[in-house]
């Protein structure tokens, strides 16, 4: 590191988890709602279609933009099925919390899993959404 370089949060390397930047991004109300739904999801790995169902005011494009921001600060990671493993008419990309984000949230009493799972489960789902919820997910790692 260069001696003249400051230690401000914006100077972290891309692969380094920055709690300050992560918290800054998750305090946005729309992103906060998406994270709550990810934490509450039965598998912890919803698709954009499921998040769209749970967040009617947001378009799928807006949801994707928010998810991209959260992936950029290492709050979320995207997992997907390989092309040969994809099922026609079903999602193949899913989002999950990173372990660094889960630790950060636990240290700050944010997004408690049990509470959000109860909240998520209480929402009435269509047959299509229940179907997607129960489909297998790609390996997490």
* Domain 16-134 in CATH 1.10.3720.10: no
Residue 11 has pLDDT above 90, yes or no: no
CA distances (Å), origin 64, targets 12, 112, 117: 24, 23, 22
Q: Which residue in 35, 10, 2 sits closest to 101, CA to CA? A: 35
pTM flag (> 0.85): no
Distances (CA, A) of 77 to 86, 93, 96: 19, 10, 6
Residue 14 has pLDDT above 70, yes or no: no
8 A C-beta contact, residue 90 and residue 13: no
Q: Secondary structure of the chain: what % helix, strand, coil (to 5)?
A: 50, 5, 40
What would the pLDDT profile of 23-77 be if each residue is shown by its tens digit? Answer: 888 888 899 999 999 999 999 999 999 999 999 999 999 999 999 999 999 999 9
Residues 6 or more apart in contact with residue 3 via CB below 8 angstroms? none
**Which spans in 75-137 are helix H?**
99-107, 113-122, 127-134
Q: For residue 4, name the pLDDT band (cuts at 50, 70, 90).
A: very low
């Amino acid at each position: 590191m260069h001696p003249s370089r400051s230690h401000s949060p914006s100077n972290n390397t891309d692969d380094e988890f920055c709690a300050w930047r992560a918290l800054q991004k998750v305090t946005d109300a729309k992103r906060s709602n998406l994270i709550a739904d990810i934490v509450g999801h039965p598998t912890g790995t919803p698709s954009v279609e499921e998040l769209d169902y749970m967040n009617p005011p947001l378009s799928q494009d807006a949801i994707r933009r928010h998810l991209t921001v959260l992936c950029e600060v290492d709050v979320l990671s995207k997992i997907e099925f390989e092309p040969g493993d994809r099922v026609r008419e079903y999602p193949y990309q899913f989002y999950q919390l990173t372990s660094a984000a889960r630790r950060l949230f636990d240290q700050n009493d944010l997004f408690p899993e049990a509470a959000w799972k109860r909240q998520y489960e209480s929402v009435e789902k269509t047959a299509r959404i229940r179907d997607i919820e129960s489909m297998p997910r790609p390996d997490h790692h």
